[in-house]
Amino acid sequence: SQQGEEDPQALSIQEGENATMNCSYKTSINNLQWYRQNSGRGLVHLILIRSNEREKHSGRLRVTLDTSKKSSSLLITASRAADTASYFCATDGDMRFGAGTRLTVKP
C-alpha cells in the first residue's frame, strides 16, 4: 500500500484561481515532499516540509503539515495553465506514491 495518498484525484480550475490538494499518510514521518509531473516527464521536486514545521512557502506554493492528522496540503495560488500536471506527495522512509492529483488549469 502507498504511504502517501492524494486527494482529490482530479481537479479542474480556471487560470487565476487557487488550487488545493491534500495528502494523507499512515505512519510517523521526518519529512514530507511534494512533486509535480508533467505528462511523460520525470518528477520535479517542489518542496520539502519537515515534521517540526507547520507551514512552508515557495513562490506561489504553500504547504501545510498537520502531523496529528497525518495530512498535508499543497496550495497553488494564482494558478497558470503551465501548472497543469500531476502532483504527488511522498514521505521519508517510504518511497511509494499514491495516485496523485491531476490538476488541469484552463486558460
Partner 1 sequence: GAVVSQHPSWVICKSGTSVKIECRSLDFQATTMFWYRQFPKQSLMLMATSNEGSKATYEQGVEKDKFLINHASLTLSTLTVTSAHPEDSSFYICSATVGSYNEQFFGPGTRLTVL
Binding of partner 1 by 61 (CB under 8 A):
no
Residue 95 found at the interface with partner 1 (CB under 8 A): yes
* Contacts of partner 1 in 15-44 (CB under 8 A): 30-31, 33, 35, 40-44
The residue assigned the cell 499543497 is 74
Smallest gap from Cβ 4 to partner 1, in A, equals 10
Name the residue nearer to partner 1 (CB basis): 13 or 43. Answer: 43
- C-beta of residue 89 within 8 angstroms of C-beta of residue 3: no
Binding of partner 1 by 87 (CB under 8 A): no
Region of residue 30 (phi > 0: left; psi between -120 and 50: alpha; otherwise: beta): alpha
Q: How many residues does the chain have?
A: 107
Distance CA 27, CA 80 (A): 34
CB of 21 to partner 1, least distance (A): 14
Q: Give me the least distance between CB of 72 and partner 1, in Å please.
A: 15
Task: Give, for 85, the enclosing helix (H) or strand (E).
Answer: strand 85-91
Query: Residue numbers of the site for partner 1 (CB under 8 A)?
Result: 2, 30-31, 33, 35, 40-45, 48, 50, 88, 90, 92-93, 95-100
